[in-house]
């Protein structure tokens, strides 16, 4: 066991500043109104830094900087931009441990996840888009012998990005890498629950980017996010969050006639067919781990496998083993390398999870394990911890239909393939799903029949760059984490060129 | 049938918000991060339409705050009664209360015969 020292403590690999201003035009700029808000760590509930409380004035300043930089950045060669992205990746990699500790302190997630997933994925994401932009080609369409259509990709210009709090650095990188690769300048607003770790990253990479290409304005959604999302000076808005804010952002975008990409959550089914339990072997063990993935990142993942569907013939035994596996999840100090589940990201998130556990019980769902706030003692008593919770119930219950965004899975059984698909698709959302079977054709068919943008087959919660990620139904618009995201950050310019020396003969 | 209600603490917060922002509305959100929570906006800021259901009006002193939800979501929520409460908190999409360090929260119970 290793426990990392908290940021700023003796022996720590990272220190937060006492205060963060906005990052605008390559430097730190105080908020126009001079106000700051305190930022607590969910690990202990204690405040550790204060953050600029941005307003429309700050957003305008950031947009000025971005517009000042966008043209030149958009004209750089793809080789130059790819080099910048690769250098950013190298810089993150060289400081991976410091960023991981900073991220864990900010968000509450276990250090083993930030070390093994959040930061390595961020590194790879920059490298992926550095490669992709070098390989992108335009198109040529020969309309006839003398008429040729040339298609070029051009950057949109200045884009707005609003980042969620569940993977503060990685979700920023998912949006930054394609936008920068495509040649856009960015104004980015981090979530107000996790506003600080992005600045640890920005300080590390600021010298690699021309001033104004990336600008970070902090603040509350209504005060800083809204002016950004509704601005006439952005060419596109990218948002990860929930449905009502997603609709509001689309409304603003409709006023400005600009595109949006939205990632709005899910209620992902994780389907276990009977043949999973035909042997007690490595695959069975893997499937049990797949069930327990609902506890990854404290369940604060848009694709949390929060509905487990188990075929009735194996239901009792598999569920019993799955509950045992869940009880073995080690909850503890997020900076301890053995900790598997850390703190929920904020107090209101904790309260919301507890309110859902309450309605689950009222609706008659049975708690098989967990179901309560955890007091881990000492300094952690002030933090926001929930025990991994397994509910057994019916798909019509609200805990089966709403995204709790906590370590809570709702389990039910199914009899047939058709039954499994009916339950899987009986949801407003379609972001993620899991299918587990030893029969390749069953797994394939189920994977195709489930209405979700990402179906994991015999695995779960992998997020490699080069695998498109995004939602069907009310889970949003667009595909991140893949080359296709470049299309969401580019215009298509068509030059239609005539090589004929002769008039048409019309006039 | 009364589907929505308000705690005294939430009513007090609505009084404060109305003093700063004028008439108000709620739209219950679904989905991730700050979702599955009631969003409070200046009246008319969020455009409701035929895909929304008007759950009811919350009466606070002399003003009312309408509560809305998407019709698709209502199909799954229709058997529950919602009480809007408030807790110390931070994030809220573009909801008005976040800068005050508060967060609206829905507490639910099953609808009973007496609610009809």
Residue A7 half-sphere exposure, CB side, CA atoms within 13 Å?
A: 30
pLDDT (tens digit, 9 = 90+) per residue, A157-176?
Answer: 999 999 999 999 999 999 99
Q: Report yes or no: A105 and A97 within 8 Å, Cβ to Cβ.
A: no
Can you give the pLDDT at residue B92? 75
Name the residue among B47, B49, B84 with its Cα closest to residue B65: B84
Q: pLDDT at residue B116 above 70?
A: no
- Determine whether the interchain pair B93/A221 forms a contact, defined as Cβ–Cβ distance below 8 Å: yes
Q: A113, A192, A263, A403: which one is catalytic? A: A263
Of A136-140, A180-184, A292-296, A347-351, the range with the lowest mean pLDDT is A347-351
Name the residue among A301, A346, A329, A269 with its Cα closest to residue A170: A301
Alpha carbon distance A113, A459 (integer Å)? 17
Alpha carbon distance A111, A108 (integer Å)? 9
pLDDT (tens digit, 9 = 90+) per residue, A181-191?
Answer: 999 999 999 99
Share of residues in chain A with pLDDT > 70 (%): 100
Q: Chain A contact for B91, CB < 8 A?
A: yes
Q: A302, A392, A402, A480: which one is catalytic? A: A302
Residue A118 DSSP label: I
Can you give the pLDDT at residue A359? 92
Q: pLDDT at residue A427 above 90?
A: yes
Q: pLDDT at residue B113 above 80?
A: no
- Determine whether the interchain pair A222/B94 forms a contact, defined as Cβ–Cβ distance below 8 Å: yes
pLDDT (tens digit, 9 = 90+) per residue, A73-82?
Answer: 999 999 999 9
Instruction: Give all domains of chain A, ordered by start, each with its CATH number.
Output: 19-264+475-493 (3.40.605.10), 269-457 (3.40.309.10)
Q: Report yes or no: A290 and A273 within 8 Å, Cβ to Cβ.
A: no
Instruction: Give all domains of chain B, ordered by start, each with its CATH number.
Output: 4-111 (2.60.300)
Q: pLDDT at residue B36 above 90?
A: no
A474: tokens are 């009310």
pLDDT (tens digit, 9 = 90+) per residue, A457-478?
Answer: 999 999 999 999 999 999 999 9
Can you give the pLDDT at residue A96? 98
3-state secondary structure (DSSP) of residue B54: strand
- Determine whether the interchain pair A396/B109 forms a contact, defined as Cβ–Cβ distance below 8 Å: no
A302 is catalytic: yes
3-state secondary structure (DSSP) of residue A376: coil
Can you give the pLDDT at residue B112? 81
- Determine whether the interchain pair A248/B45 forms a contact, defined as Cβ–Cβ distance below 8 Å: yes
Average pLDDT over residues B49-60: 96
ipTM field: 0.95
- Determine whether the interchain pair A358/B31 forms a contact, defined as Cβ–Cβ distance below 8 Å: no
pLDDT (tens digit, 9 = 90+) per residue, B6-17?
Answer: 999 999 999 999
> Rounded to the nearest 5 degrees, what angle is found at the Cα of A290, between the Cα atoms of A284 and A295?
140
Residue A191 DSSP label: -
Model confidence, pTM: 0.97
Per-residue confidence band for B32, with pLDDT thresholds at 50, 70 and 90: confident
Size of interface A-B (CB pairs under 8 A): 163
**Nearest chain B alpha carbon to A219:** B99
3-state secondary structure (DSSP) of residue A391: strand
Share of residues in chain A with pLDDT > 90 (%): 99
pLDDT (tens digit, 9 = 90+) per residue, A325-346?
Answer: 999 999 999 999 999 999 999 9
A111: tokens are 């250090």
Q: For A161, phi and psi rounded to 5 degrees?
A: -135, 130
A93 is catalytic: no
**Nearest chain B alpha carbon to A162:** B93
Alpha carbon distance A470, A452 (integer Å)? 8
- Determine whether the interchain pair A223/B99 forms a contact, defined as Cβ–Cβ distance below 8 Å: yes
Å from A346 to nearest chain B CA?
7
3-state secondary structure (DSSP) of residue A13: coil
Q: Which residues of A touch B30 (CB under 8 A)?
A: 242-244, 265, 402-403, 428, 474
Per-residue confidence band for B90, with pLDDT thresholds at 50, 70 and 90: confident
Instruction: List, in order, residues 6 or more apart from A66 with CB less than 8 Å away.
Output: A158, A185, A186, A187, A212, A213, A215
CA-CA-CA-CA torsion sign (A104, A108, A110, A114): negative
């Amino acid at each position: 066991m290793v426990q990392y020292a908290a940021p700023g403590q003796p022996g720590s690999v990272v220190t937060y500043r006492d205060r963060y201003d906005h990052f605008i035009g390559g430097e730190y700029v105080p908020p126009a109104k001079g106000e700051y808000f305190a930022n607590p760590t969910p690990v202990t509930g204690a405040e550790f830094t204060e953050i600029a409380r941005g307003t429309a004035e700050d957003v305008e300043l950031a947009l000025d900087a971005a517009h000042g930089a966008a043209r030149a950045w958009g004209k750089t060669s793809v080789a130059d931009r790819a080099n910048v992205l690769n250098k950013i990746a190298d810089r993150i990699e060289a400081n991976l441990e410091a960023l991981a500790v900073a991220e864990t302190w900010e968000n509450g997630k276990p250090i083993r996840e930030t070390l093994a997933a959040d930061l390595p994925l961020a590194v790879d994401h920059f490298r992926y888009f550095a490669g992709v932009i070098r390989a992108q080609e335009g198109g040529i369409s020969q309309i006839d012998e003398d008429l040729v259509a040339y298609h070029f990709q051009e950057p949109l210009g200045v884009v707005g990005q609003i980042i969620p709090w569940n993977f503060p650095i990685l979700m920023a990188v998912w949006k930054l890498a394609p936008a920068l690769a495509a040649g856009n300048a960015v104004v980015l607003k981090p979530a107000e629950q996790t506003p600080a770790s992005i600045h640890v990253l920005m300080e590390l990479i600021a010298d690699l980017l021309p001033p104004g290409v990336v600008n970070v304005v902090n603040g509350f959604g209504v005060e800083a996010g809204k002016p950004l999302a509704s601005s006439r000076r952005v060419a596109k808005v990218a948002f990860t969050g929930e449905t009502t804010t997603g609709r509001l952002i689309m409304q603003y975008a409709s006023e400005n006639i600009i595109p949006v990409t939205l990632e709005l959550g899910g209620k992902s089914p994780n389907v276990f067919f009977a043949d999973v339990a035909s042997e007690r072997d490595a695959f069975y063990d893997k499937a049990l781990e797949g069930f327990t993935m609902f506890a990854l990142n404290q369940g604060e993942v848009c694709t949390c496998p929060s509905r487990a569907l188990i075929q009735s013939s194996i239901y009792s035994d598999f569920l019993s083993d799955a509950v045992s596996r869940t009880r073995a999840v080690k909850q503890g100090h997020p900076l301890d390398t053995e900790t598997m589940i850390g703190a929920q990201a904020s107090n209101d998130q904790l309260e919301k999870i507890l309110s859902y556990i309450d309605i689950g019980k009222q609706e008659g769902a049975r708690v098989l394990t967990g179901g309560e706030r955890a007091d881990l003692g000492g300094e952690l008593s002030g933090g926001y911890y929930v025990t991994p919770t397994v509910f057994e119930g019916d798909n019509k219950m609200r805990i089966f239909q709403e995204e709790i965004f906590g370590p809570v899975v709702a389990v039910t059984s199914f009899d047939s393939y058709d039954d499994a698909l009916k339950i899987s698709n009986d949801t407003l959302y379609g972001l993620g799903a899991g299918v587990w079977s030893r029969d390749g054709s069953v797994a394939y068919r189920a994977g195709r029949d489930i209405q979700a943008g990402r179906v994991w087959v015999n695995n779960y919660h992998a997020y490699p760059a080069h695998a498109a990620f995004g939602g069907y139904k009310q889970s949003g618009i667009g595909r991140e984490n893949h080359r296709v995201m470049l299309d969401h950050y580019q215009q298509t310019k068509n030059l239609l060129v005539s090589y004929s020396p002769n008039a048409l003969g019309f006039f | 049938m009364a589907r929505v209600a308000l705690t005294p603490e939430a009513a007090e917060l609505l009084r404060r918000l109305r003093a700063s922002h004028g008439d108000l509305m709620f739209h219950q959100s679904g989905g991730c991060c700050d979702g599955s929570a009631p969003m409070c906006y200046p009246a008319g800021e969020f455009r409701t339409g035929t895909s929304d259901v008007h759950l009811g009006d919350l009466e606070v002193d002399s003003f009312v705050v309408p509560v809305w939800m998407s019709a698709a979501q209502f199909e799954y929520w229709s058997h529950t009664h919602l009480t809007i409460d408030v807790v110390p908190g931070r994030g809220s999409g573009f909801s008005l209360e976040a800068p005050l360090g508060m967060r609206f929260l829905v507490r639910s119970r099953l609808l009973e015969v007496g609610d009809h």
